[in-house]
């Protein structure tokens, strides 16, 4: 095996023979843990491998799982729809919305600082600034992150000091393929590399060891792999953690891939069966008990074309044998398999399968409520692993570049207070929900702030909107009063109440 260099602490260190990466043999007898990664089915194998650690399972199966998930996203409509649903519900049309929550020394809301931070962040988030390649806006980066992590299991995000925009900061999204699954070793400094991720003794990420070229790139050169070491301060690996000690992500659809491919296989079989069934034919067979008639052409052949609904006489001396291929079978196989797949994806079957037959409003509402709670959990994951780290780094760089008018870098800790709001959903009958919210506030079981947060509404925006509306209407209030019926009391213009948080 060719030796290679690892860039540790800025110095190239030659790896000792006993420290070289171990590559599982292609014919390894270790059992596959994930069903979608198995090469064959066996009831015995399905119950083995459960005692392995999360990383041991992933070292054996992640490459195959990722390939299966990507192929399913390309070829199976239901999986493609699921990835689209992830983008729609986790990110939404407007993406994660930043709300600055800076307060003054006396505890009051610093509205001016909040306005500056939010407006400048929105400018950075536009196409051409947020992503270093200039191909995505901040919302586009969120959509790609959600979809890629759902499809591949994990994704790398690198932070760049970028001189091309006034805030001096951009992000780069990188496929996790360059984080080599087969790179596993113990280093001389006591750290260990697990599937390309360097960890210290507390299992905290120290660095990432990336291949210098994508392993699936056609231009990738042979003759040994080379790596670059990137500090964990410059890069993050994004994925939901399913098990303690897990250091790489799992494709979100892994528990449904097998059934999805079975659905495709059954549909192909039914299509083949239908084609065969449509090819039924009739054959004339010589009947030895009858005399042959002379109803033949000059070449001695009896020819007849059958059409739908046509009736014909069998020629004398012959009898008819007819093929009768059975039609498509399978019944509810697809529905049953798709229900199981939807459970593995943690989404509602009716929405995933576009099947609303026999569904009433109450049952669908209950299913959608459960779905939305699951989407909110995934939103929280995206906020924690992408939204918050990006904002804090953006704010630090923007302050150092004096890109936030009137705000100082010395106030970084105070200015970093913020919150993200994920998308929220309206109901088919919003009037009932509005009435329910009004009744809840009347009964003192909720508050306007809580209701607005549940809808993803920024109370500051609402207050500012009313204030702006009041200022706009002031010059026209006399005309409005003149046009109003006399029975309606006149409303004097007044300042909109400030929203205290």
Q: Concatenated DSSP letters for 94-126? A: S-SEEEE--B-TTS-B-HHHHHHHHHHHHHHTS
Judge residue 273's burial from the number of C-beta atoms within 10 Å of its C-beta, 0-12 exposed, 13-18 middle, 19 or more buried. middle
pLDDT value of residue 490: 56
Which has the closest alpha carbon to 128: 142, 116, 138, 143? 138
List the Cα angle 187/192/196 in 5-degree steps: 105
Bridge partner residues of 199 (DSSP): 192, 205
pLDDT value of residue 40: 53
Structure tokens at 294: 């002379």
| Whole-model pTM over 0.85 | no
Are 335 and 78 spatial neighbours (Cβ–Cβ below 8 Å)?
Answer: no
Beta pairing class for 155-160 and 97-100: unpaired
Strand extents, DSSP E, 387-476: 418-421
What is the four-CA torsion angle of 199, 177, 79, 266, rounded to 10 degrees? -110
Structure tokens at 312: 């014909």
State the 10-residue block means of pLDDT for the chain, 501 residues long.
Answer: 42 39 46 61 56 88 94 92 96 94 92 95 95 95 97 97 92 95 93 95 94 73 74 96 93 91 79 73 69 60 62 69 62 80 90 82 82 94 97 96 94 95 80 83 86 75 81 79 64 50 41
Are 400 and 162 spatial neighbours (Cβ–Cβ below 8 Å)?
Answer: no
Q: To which residue do tokens 């007849």 refer?
A: 304
pLDDT value of residue 492: 56
pLDDT value of residue 104: 93
DSSP H/E element including 199: strand 197-199
Q: Residue 497 gets which letter from DSSP?
A: P
Which has the closest alpha carbon to 213: 224, 221, 205? 221
Other CB atoms within a 10 A radius of the CB of residue 160 amount to 16
How far CA 225 is from CA of 178, 211, 325, 331, in Å, comes to 11, 7, 56, 51
List the Cα angle 113/116/122 in 5-degree steps: 140
Q: Is 498 helix (H, G, I), strand (E, B) or coil?
A: coil
How far CA 38 is from CA of 27, 42, 79, 151, in Å, comes to 13, 9, 20, 19
Are 490 and 484 spatial neighbours (Cβ–Cβ below 8 Å)?
Answer: yes
Q: How far apart, in whole angstroms, are the C-alpha atoms of residue 436 and residue 453?
A: 16
Sign of CA dihedral 468, 137, 209, 12: negative
pLDDT value of residue 292: 65
DSSP H/E element including 349: helix 349-352
Q: To which residue do tokens 């690198």 refer?
A: 158
pLDDT value of residue 70: 95
pLDDT value of residue 164: 87
């Amino acid at each position: 095996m060719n030796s290679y260099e690892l860039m540790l602490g800025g110095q190239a260190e030659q790896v000792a023979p006993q420290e070289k990466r171990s590559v599982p043999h292609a014919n390894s007898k270790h059992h596959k843990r994930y069903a979608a990664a198995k090469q064959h089915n066996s009831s015995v194998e399905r119950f083995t491998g459960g005692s392995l650690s999360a990383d041991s399972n992933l070292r054996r199966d992640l490459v195959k799982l990722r390939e299966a998930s990507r192929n399913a996203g390309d070829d199976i409509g239901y999986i493609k729809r699921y990835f689209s649903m992830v983008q729609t519900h986790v990110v939404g049309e407007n993406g994660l919305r930043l709300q600055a929550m800076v307060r003054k020394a006396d505890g009051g809301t610093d509205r001016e600082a909040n306005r500056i931070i939010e407006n400048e962040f929105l400018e950075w988030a536009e196409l051409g600034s947020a992503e270093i390649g200039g191909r995505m806006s901040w919302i586009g980066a969120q959509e790609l992150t959600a979809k890629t992590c759902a499809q591949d299991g994990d994704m790398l995000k690198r932070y760049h000091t970028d001189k091309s925009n006034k805030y001096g900061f951009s992000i780069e999204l990188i496929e996790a393929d360059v984080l080599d699954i087969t790179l596993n070793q113990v280093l001389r400094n006591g750290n260990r590399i697990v599937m390309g991720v360097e960890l210290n003794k507390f299992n905290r990420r120290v660095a990432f060891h990336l291949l210098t070229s994508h392993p699936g790139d056609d231009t990738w050169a042979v003759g040994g792999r080379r790596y670059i070491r990137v500090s964990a301060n410059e890069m993050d690996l994004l994925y939901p953690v399913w098990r303690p000690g897990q250091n790489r992500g799992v494709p979100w659809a892994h528990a449904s891939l097998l059934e999805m491919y079975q659905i495709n296989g059954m549909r192909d079989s039914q299509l083949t069966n239908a084609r065969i069934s449509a090819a039924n034919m009739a054959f004339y067979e010589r009947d030895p008990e009858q005399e042959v008639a002379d109803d033949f052409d000059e070449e001695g052949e009896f020819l007849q074309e059958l059409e739908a609904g046509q009736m014909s006489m069998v020629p004398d001396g012959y009898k008819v044998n007819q093929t009768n291929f059975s039609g498509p079978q399978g019944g509810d196989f697809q529905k049953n398999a798709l229900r199981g797949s939807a459970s593995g994806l943690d989404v509602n079957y009716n929405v995933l399968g576009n099947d609303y037959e026999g569904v009433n409003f109450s049952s669908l509402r209950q299913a959608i409520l459960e779905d939305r709670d699951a989407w909110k959990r995934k939103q929280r994951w995206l906020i924690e692993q992408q939204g918050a780290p990006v904002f804090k780094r953006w704010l630090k760089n923007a302050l150092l570049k004096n890109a936030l008018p009137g705000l100082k870098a010395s106030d970084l800790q105070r200015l970093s207070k913020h919150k993200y709001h994920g998308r929220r959903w309206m109901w088919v009958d919003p009037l009932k929900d509005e009435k329910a919210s009004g009744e809840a506030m009347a009964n003192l079981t909720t508050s306007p702030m809580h209701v607005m947060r549940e809808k993803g509404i920024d109370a500051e925006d609402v207050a500012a909107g009313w204030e702006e509306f009041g200022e706009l209407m002031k010059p026209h209030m006399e005309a409005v009063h003149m046009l109003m019926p006399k029975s309606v009391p006149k409303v004097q213009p007044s300042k909109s109440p400030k929203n205290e948080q």
